[in-house]
Amino acid sequence: MAQSQFHLGWFLGNSYGVHGWLDQWGGGTARNWSDPSLQIDLARAIDRACFDFVLLEDSSFVPDNYGSSMDFYLKRASRAPKNDPLPLVPLMLQATKHVGIVPTISTSFYPPFLLARLMATLDLMSEGRVGCNFVTSTAERAAQNFGLTEHIEHHTRYEMADEFVEVVKQLWDSWEADAVVADEAGQMFADPGKVQPINFEGKFFSSRGPLNTARPAQGHPVLVQAGGSPQGRAFASKHMDVVMAAVSTVEEMKKFREDIRARAAANGRDPDSCKVVYQFLPIVAETDSQAQEILAARQAAKDPADILAAMGSIFDIDFSIYDLDAPLAELTTNGQQGTFQRFMAMGNTLREIADSFHFALDEVAGSPDTVAAQMQEMMEEAGGDGFLIAGDLNRRYVAEITDGLVPALQKRGLVRTGFSKTQFRENLLEF
């Protein structure tokens, strides 16, 4: 395949939560937000369009940062209500043939054995089509839901995450690939010599093992992470198959990828085995002028409160107490460090920051061919392995991407038109 090809994924923010309940094209989601058919329709559409994977974001708390109250978040359906996305995974797998499904779990709160067994089960039932997105969790309210009075310190969370991944990898390896022999004549289902305890004793976790299910179909499910801080990047470059980058310029794209690849090489890894994908929110319309009108209207309608409440919930900061137009005092967070540094660098006042901050590449707008051409230019200039579509979920937008943008990319030879492999990791490593 041509070296210029790149991968496509879909980042499903607020994955099993409320989508577009006030949008013109949101359908009946206000009434049936917990009906999984919207997410299943997404999986089917991106499977047809030859996406490599969909990532199901998650969080486990009701924010109360903005205005020191849950009111703003509950009224806007921002992060709550939200169902656990894990039950979506087998439904989405059953509805598709090729696309990888990647749920999110917290290394700060999930027991490693439970996670290792769950992901092994899903990988076996799908014959190798699942991944796992590891987060350390950022919010103190989430920590309090799991019995802690305050959240674990940021650097310590990444120490835990590093050990967590070591445990689950060893548990997946506790069964050799050929341990299941199903020998009827010899009356031996699993070879006892190929299943061993791991006897892991660490600083944060311990587990005897072995798993009580077999080795995952892929050996290890695909490992995914998004962390912009130095600790997050170190963690990702050591363990991850896919690293998500939330950046907003081509220069940032290039710097992020170069840093991850250098770190991966320093860890003795082939940098090509660690795929960097960029969050991307394109606007696709029939013509360039229509798309630009939509972009201008969205920018004009931006409410600083929405941005500040959302960011406050991942930084554990109540931005409502600050004057929007006064110089912002020095702030610190135990939340998302990398995102916080980018956020604070966007201006001197909260209004400037809210107007300027972009969580992803979100200013590309045009016809399908125009957007495809810009994606090609960005990737040629910055390098990288793919884009992660992260726009709001409604069936119209899904069609604009899968039936409008993707064919334009395919005509340019930039993305796959089919799958020659059967497993998620094999497809990722194909180019």
Tell me the mean pLDDT in the region 175-188. 97
- Decide the pairing of beta strands 283-284 and 386-389: unpaired
2 falls in which pLDDT band (50, 70, 90)? very low
* DSSP string across 176-206: -TT-EEEETTTTEEE-GGGB----EE-SS-E
Judged against a pLDDT cut of 80, whether residue 88 lies above it is answered with yes
Q: Which amino acid is at 280?
A: F
Give the tens place of pLDDT for each residue, 295-339. 999 988 888 999 899 999 989 999 999 999 999 888 989 888 888
Tell me the mean pLDDT in the region 33-37. 96
1 falls in which pLDDT band (50, 70, 90)? very low
CA atoms of 177 and 216, how far apart (whole Å):
8
* Predicted local confidence at residue 329, as pLDDT: 83
At which residue do the structure tokens 């369009």 appear? 49
Judged against a pLDDT cut of 80, whether residue 231 lies above it is answered with yes
Query: What rounded mean pLDDT belongs to the chain?
Result: 94
DSSP state of 127: T
Cα–Cα distances (Å) from 147 to 83, 112, 142, 152, 234, in that order, read 20, 17, 9, 12, 28
Q: How far is CA 249 from the centre of its chain?
A: 19
Q: Which amino acid is at 83?
A: N
Token pair of 110, please?
């999930």
The model's pTM? 0.95
4 falls in which pLDDT band (50, 70, 90)? confident
* Predicted local confidence at residue 28, as pLDDT: 86
Which of 176-185, 322-331, 417-426 shows the lowest mean pLDDT across its residues?
A: 322-331
Tell me the mean pLDDT in the region 333-357. 87
Judged against a pLDDT cut of 90, whether residue 229 lies above it is answered with no
Cα–Cα distances (Å) from 81 to 86, 139, 143, in that order, read 15, 16, 18
Give the tens place of pLDDT for each residue, 151-173. 999 999 999 999 999 999 999 99
Query: What residues does each domain of the chain span?
Result: 7-288+360-428, 290-356
* Predicted local confidence at residue 360, as pLDDT: 85
Exposed e or buried b per residue across 76-111, where buried means at least 16 C-beta atoms within 10 angstroms of its C-beta: bbbbbebeebbebbeebbebbebbbbbbbbbbbbbe
CA atoms of 198 and 208, how far apart (whole Å):
6
Tell me the mean pLDDT in the region 416-430. 96
Q: Hey, which of 24-28, 221-225, 357-361 has the most confident mean pLDDT?
A: 221-225
Q: Is residue 304 a contact partner of residue 355, using CB atoms and an 8 Å limit?
A: yes
Judged against a pLDDT cut of 50, whether residue 3 lies above it is answered with no
* Predicted local confidence at residue 384, as pLDDT: 87
Judged against a pLDDT cut of 80, whether residue 227 lies above it is answered with no
Judged against a pLDDT cut of 90, whether residue 117 lies above it is answered with yes
CATH class of the domain at 7-288+360-428: alpha beta
